[in-house]
A and B are shown apart, each in its own frame.
Chain A
Amino acid sequence: MKVLELKNVNKIYDGSEVHVHAVNNVTLEFQEAEFAAIVGPSGSGKTTLLNLIGGLDMPTSGKIIIDGSDLSGLKSSQLIDFRMRNIGFVFQAYNLIPVLTAKENVEFIMNLQKWSRKERDERTFELLKAVGLGDRMNSRPSKLSGGQQQRVAVARALASRPKFVLADEPTANLDSKSATTLLEIMEKLNHEEKITFIFSTHDARVVKMAHRVITLEDGSVVSDDIRE
């Protein structure tokens, strides 16, 4: 089932001194439960493309359709609400809420969606257990290692069962062992939860595990390899 579609998407930064075509006429489709990596050299437009897919930025032209809804037709507050319900985010620098515990961080989106306490508790426990942090539920981010924080971030991204998860360089700040553990967890959750994962990455391990690799150069898609 198609969860995300990009049609002739362009993003142009037109400053007074520089004119950058960051995303150039990109057309892509993503299916349910894909595990896709967007790769390319620095400045190729990976993060910009991810921001556009996540509704954090608006394309200069083209359409981004998620589950049948065109993002460009949404008002700012509708867009925030749309992101909350349909998209999970994993950032390079984890970006957990420092004053909340691991459990509260994972619950955060469910809270915003007004889930019942029982549902929240069950889902939080299930996810933190799945990422191997069932025993660190009440730890604040400052008491967790980088790898553990990123696992909490993955659990948070999946909490409200989004259509897909966008992960911008999720392993960039992690050591090799932590990165491998994280990738294994994400792949397992991708299988179990049937949620699409889209990464932007430089990391060869991520590329190796990905079922689909999209390569960008100068904002354009130069290859789109789907592996069996």
Chain B
Amino acid sequence: MSNYKIAWRNLWRNKRRTLITVASVFFAIFFALIMRSLQLGTYDHMFRNAIESYTGYLQIQHEDFWDNKIVDNTFSYTPELDQAIMSLENVTGTVPRFESFALASSGALTKGVLVMGVDPEKESLLSDIRGKLVKYKLNDNNIEALKNSEIPQETKKNLEIFRGNSYSSNSSLAIDFNIPDKDSSSILEIFRKYASFRNGYIKSGEPGVLIGDKLALYLKAGIGDTIVLLGQGYHGTTAAGKYRINGIVKLPAPDLDNKIVYLPYDVCQELYDAPGMLTSLAISIRENGDKKINSMIPEIRSKLDPQLKVMGWQEMNKLMINQMDADSKSGMIMIFILYLVIAFGVFGTVLMMTAERRREFGVLVAIGMQKSKLATVVTLEMILMGILGIASGIIAALPVIFYGYSHPIRFHGEMAKMYEDYGMEAIMPFLLPDMYILWQAIVVAIIVLIALVYPLRKITKMQVVDSLKA
């Protein structure tokens, strides 16, 4: 009879006790994974938004631009520079940008905006502006038309909730309106018919802009309207121009959506009187792991003039990383409290088990079982209980995590507003299974092993005669 077999049978001699212990471990791992997945998923989403809408993973800038974002801190964009970067392994393209601030006016309304000169075609390597063009808009007229259409009653109920919203993809519309996959084509067809939004795009050398959806709302401007941009150009010149609004984009980061104006970078250079200059050259890469990015930074730096510098996404998003780090720590404190409660639960059952079996332990040692072998059996029992709890917790959490990944939690109303006031998209997606699952499993396994110290100590210090009297 192997130790394993005895341990396994011991588990089921008191089913209730075993189930309580396994359930403690199960709930610890289940809730810890859900909490961690939600937290890390939210961070991941925010980083992706920031990276894919704005910074990219790597940028070349004038050495002073990051600290002082004025047009004077630009650098010359030459074919030689482009070739040098493109020759590096893992680089899939370069994305030129000319970024500055200006006042944007439409009619009597004015707002400070972020002017982003981009290459309309190359930018798709990084931020896919074309994919962010608004496809559907739920304005008053469209909503009335949709209410009278043949879309299901359930979908109609949500129209009021999302009045004024814009959507740049079918999937985000389907998530908000809970449109089931099987009905999606017919319902989306109706949305296309009554709420589709016609956008244009921008083209190199042609004046015209794309503006953020929230900025368009603020300026009360639409397609075909004109906005005036007024700012400070290269070496103190005045930058002024008026541009037709060709399209409206819906950016996931509300802060950016509220201030972004895209225009072709050559048009932007002209506006700021800085021909041939760039504020940054973003680099599109194939493999975007932190290790790879960090290894690329010195490689790129070696190809640059000394007044230029390379920045990774972590450096460019330092503030956000610090905020996430602080938030992550508070999340970990919550998980720690959860673990503490669970640890006491596990310890309580271990304590009971040890007291109940004291006499049995005495008998086993009396008839010739070495204490080390007895300790091995008890350790195996605890490990088996731990494995059962951890495995069942992970198995139960995985479907929730996968569902939460494909159907992120979206906030509406006041909650959504609160999120957007903090510059965050009102959405909480889950992070797909990653190393965090392993870490939670390890932490719970350690708790189980710590609880094991008590019975092991009792066995080691056991006086057989005293135990037989128990």
Residues of A in contact with B (beta carbons under 8 Å apart): 51, 54, 56-57, 76-77, 80-81, 83-85, 88-89, 91, 95, 97-100, 104, 107-109, 111-112, 156
Contacts and interface: CB of A to CB of B under 8 A. Distances in A.
Contacts of B368: 80-81, 83-85, 109, 112
Given A81-B370, A83-B366, 14 more contacts: A51-B465, A56-B464, A77-B370, A80-B368, A85-B368, A88-B367, A89-B363, A91-B468, A97-B360, A98-B13, A100-B1, A108-B1, A112-B369, A112-B373
B10 interface: yes
Contacts of B364: 97
A89 B464 CA distance: 13
B9 A108 contact: no
8 contacts: A56-B464, A80-B369, A89-B367, A104-B1, A108-B1, A108-B367, A109-B368, A111-B1
Contacts of A56: 366, 464-465, 468
Interface in B348-363: 359-360, 363
Contact of B10 (A51, A91, A99, A112): A99
A168 to B, nearest CB: 9
B30 to A, nearest CB: 29
Contacts of A83: 366-368
Chain B, interface size category, equals 20 to 34
B254 to A, nearest CB: 61
B365 interface: yes
Q: 4 tightest A-B contacts by CB?
A: A84-B368, A99-B9, A95-B363, A57-B465
Nearest to B367: A89
Nearest to B7: A99
Which of A54, A97, A108 has the most B CB atoms < 10 Å from its CB?
Answer: A97
A80 B370 contact: yes
A176 B464 CA distance: 30
A95 B467 CA distance: 12
A77 B369 contact: no
Nearest to B2: A111
Contacts of A84: 367-369
Interface in B1-56: 1, 6, 9-10, 12-13
Nearest to B8: A99
B301 interface: no
Nearest to A156: B367
B387 to A, nearest CB: 19
Contacts of A89: 363, 366-367
B90 to A, nearest CB: 59
Contacts of B244: none
A98 B363 CA distance: 12
B371 interface: yes
A109 B465 CA distance: 20
B9 A100 contact: yes
A95 B470 CA distance: 12
A108 B360 CA distance: 14
A91 B363 contact: yes
Contact of A99 (B6, B359, B366, B373): B6
Which of A80, A88, A111 has the most B CB atoms < 10 Å from its CB?
Answer: A80
A108 B6 CA distance: 11
Given A57-B465, A107-B1, A80 B365 contact: yes
Contacts of B370: 77, 80-81
Contact of B6 (A57, A80, A100): A100
B1 A109 contact: no
Interface in B337-394: 359-360, 363-373
B1 A54 contact: no
A194 B390 CA distance: 53
B300 to A, nearest CB: 65
Contacts of A77: 370-372
A107 B2 CA distance: 12
Contacts of B363: 89, 91, 95, 97
A98 B10 CA distance: 9
A51 B6 CA distance: 27
A84 B365 CA distance: 9
